[in-house]
Amino acid sequence: NAGVIQTPRHKVTGKGQEATLWCEPISGHSAVFWYRQTIVQGLEFLTYFRNQAPIDDSGMPKERFSAQMPNQSHSTLKIQSTQPQDSAVYLCASSLVGFSNERLFFGHGTKLSVL
């Protein structure tokens, strides 16, 4: 089992460009979570899918961020018109079915740098 796979590991974009981050959950896991990690904010919840359906996107900045899960094997986080404050490590995690007592398995993250 390869674990949660996130690509790319590093992404550098210019201000105003679009960035798409990819996540492949552990095979058989039906819940996928996205987080943004910064030193100041820690791990900020962004959004959460279960069985490919969006369940809770209360952490997503509404204007430029969007997430999709077109099939059970991958999810994407898209940031339009990137700004320097979007620079962070974006972490994807999966769990078996999304119950409250389940552990999350994290990927190594995508480090986004907006110049």
Q: Which residues bind another protein (CB under 8 A)?
A: 3-4, 33, 35, 40-45, 48, 55-56, 58, 91, 98-101, 103-109
Minimum CB distance to another protein smaller for 3 or for 8: 3
Contact present, 68 and 92 (Cβ < 8 Å)? no
Host H or E run for residue 59? none
Measured distance CA(102)–CA(115) in Å, rounded: 37
Least distance to another protein from the beta carbon of 76, Å? 19
Separation of alpha carbons 53 and 20, rounded Å = 19
Distance between CA atoms of 103 and 89, rounded to whole angstroms? 20
Q: Which CB atom, from 35 or from 65, has the smaller least distance to another protein? A: 35
Closer residue to another protein (CB): 15 or 108: 108
Q: How far is the CB of 45 from another protein (least distance, A)?
A: 5
Which residue's CB is nearer to another protein, number 88 or number 91?
91
Closest to 112 in 3D by CA, of 6, 12, 8, 7? 12
Minimum distance from residue 102 beta carbon to another protein (Å): 8
